[in-house]
Structure 1
Amino acid sequence: MTNRIRLDDDEEFLRSLCFESFGYDESDSLDVESTVSLMENENIDSSDSDAEESDTYRAYIEDKTTFLSMQFKTSDEAYTIYNEYAKSVGFSVRKDVYRIHPNGVAIKRRFVCSSQGQRHADKLQSMTPKRTPRQATRLNCKACIVVVFDSEAKFWTVKEFIGEHTHPLVRYPSSMFLRSHRNVSREALEFATCLNDVGVRKCQVMGHYAHIARCFLNVGFTKKDLYNKMGKERRSRCIDGDANTLLANLEDKVKLDPLFHYNYELNVSGQIIGRFGRFHLPLDYL
């Protein structure tokens, strides 16, 4: 005996909304019923499995037809649309091939599933692992999309689309936490930086976003993503680096007091290895 669990109305609406641009209707949609066995060693009817595989294959064929008919103004636009498609289907996207014409114009881009390829052999065959190996994420998945630039039409067109995956897909809403679907917007970063500058801790900033979005699921990024983004923004503020900031500070002191004197020493790489400064130093030698 099997127990069939159906998606609730809200989740079915979200799923249909994700696939609306790909022309899915009720007769062509994927079989989203998941069969849960209540008895061990129970035989599952092979006809149901064949029907699910047939529906999945038909869905991928329709997706391929839809993508092959698309045109994009830029490769970034192609990535954005494919990434939205990946979020609705349940996988993450990684940028792969990037080819440039000798005249400097990009002519080809390939975006692949994050599970594309395999882990390096030296990591798989390590005889004395120093720590517990991480879960395998490269499963030799072939799913990808290839876009090329048409110099005559001035558009990016889809040259190849592979929709079949070699791994289980992640269902909504869990798919929003996959790597390519987590994004800290510029507005969210600026607001978080302002709060942090006035003394609000980063963990409290994340709690504030969760309060506004009603829950952490609706924020769109994790606490670690916010920490990394804020750290990167903080480092970018020191464009000249600490050494040049120090020299600029010493120059300001010279402008305030002409009797202030400083000097510094550089190594062969042009890095500061020593410096000193003193007020009224020239007067000591009069």
Structure 2
Amino acid sequence: MEPNNHENDGGECDWKPRVRMTFDTEQEAYNFYNAYGGRMGFSIRRGYVNKNKEAQITSRLFVCNKEGFRGVDKRDPLTKNPRQEVRTGCQARLIIKWDRNIHKFFVGEFVEQHNHIFVPTECTHMLPSQRKISASQATEIDLAEKSRIRLNAAFELMGNEAGGRESLGFTKVDQKNYLRMKRQNSLAYGEAGSILQYFREKTLENPSFFYSVQLDSEE
């Protein structure tokens, strides 16, 4: 769905956020800001959220992925491959607020300036918030898993077919997360789902109750 008030008035870009621009949903606002980030060359993520008693979002912060600074690295200081610092304390942000009179979200604040360089256009598809697995790629991943092809081998194969791993539009971690979420969702139904629901209810009744789940090759 296209967000409202995107018409080009006074020379404003219809793809650029501006104060008082309205959206029907929080997800619509996220998608618009993310599309703007992809066009400019930066990644975004969700920040704080405020909700009322009815669990309706009243305000939401979206930030540049380089906002803040990384916490203390608790890994072995002698590690051979320390994680690269990627955050720069960037203050770029978009804040949306709920207007109960018109039942829409509106942009309450938009900070455009970044304190870092943008990613080149040819690389924006690999930014964290831009990466995604298409329906056809998901089918290939599913088929590879059913054929017992190892994750690394499947990723390399798909990368070769796409003309290089950088052309896939997702990473090996995204592939692994996709499969994990798929397995978790499959457990929500049938006999296994009933057992898990029982365990969750027991946890609510008794906070000291503990359970863990391990999947076999048949999930």
- Give the TM-score of the pair, scaled to structure 2: 0.70
After the TM superposition, which residues 120-135 of structure 1 pair with which residues of structure 2 at under 5 Å, given as runs?
A: 120=71, 122-123=72-73, 129-131=77-79, 133-135=82-84
The answer to whether the Cα contact below 8 Å between 1:22 and 1:66 also exists between their aligned partners in 2 is: no
- Which letter does structure 2 place at the counterpart of 1:91? F
Q: Which amino acid aligns with 2:209?
A: S
> How has the CA–CA distance of structure 1 residues 167 and 227 changed in structure 2, closer, same or farther, with 3 Å as cutoff?
same
CA distance in 2, matches of 1:87, 1:147: 19
User: Using a 3 Å threshold, how does the CA distance of structure 1 residues 22 and 176 change in structure 2: closer, same or farther?
Assistant: farther
User: Number of aligned pairs?
Assistant: 191
- Please, which runs of 5 or more residues in structure 2 have no aligned partner? 1-5, 197-207, 213-219
Matches of 1:65 and 1:179, distance apart in 2:
20
2:216 aligned with 1:269: no
Partner of 1:137: 86
Match of residue 39 from structure 1: none
Identity of paired residues, percent?
25
Whether contact under 8 Å (2:17, 2:33) holds in the other structure is no
Which stretch of the first structure deviates more once superposed, 140-149 or 184-193? 184-193
Cα–Cα, structure 1 residues 153 and 242, in superposed 2: closer, same or farther, change >3 Å? closer
How far is 1:270 from its partner?
7.0
State the TM-score, normalizing by the size of structure 1.
Answer: 0.56
Q: Report 1:138-177 matches (<5 A).
A: 138-177=87-126
Q: Does 1:110 align with 2:72?
A: no
The corresponding residue for 2:19 is 68
Distance 1:153 1:244, change over 3 A: closer
Aligned equivalents of 2:70 and 2:210: distance in 1?
A: 40
More helix by share: 1
The alpha-carbon distance between structure 1 residues 79 and 65, as it changes in their structure 2 partners (threshold 3 A), is closer
> Quick one: which amino acid aligns to residue 133 of structure 2?
V
Shift of 1:169: 1.3
Please state whether the residue corresponding to 1:137 is helix, strand or coil: coil
Could you say what the CA RMSD is over the residues aligned between the two structures, in angstroms? Answer: 3.6
The residue aligned with 1:87 is 38
The structure with the largest alpha-carbon Rg is 1
Deviations 1:2-54 (A, max 9, x none): xxxxxxxxxxxxxxxxxxx897xxxx9xxxxxxxxxxxxxxxxxxxxxxxxxx
- Higher relative contact order structure (alpha carbons within 8 Å, sequence separation ≥ 6): 2
C-alpha distance 103-174 of structure 1, shift in aligned 2 (>3 A) = same
Shift of 1:242: 10
How far residue 160 of structure 1 moved from its aligned partner, in angstroms, is 0.4
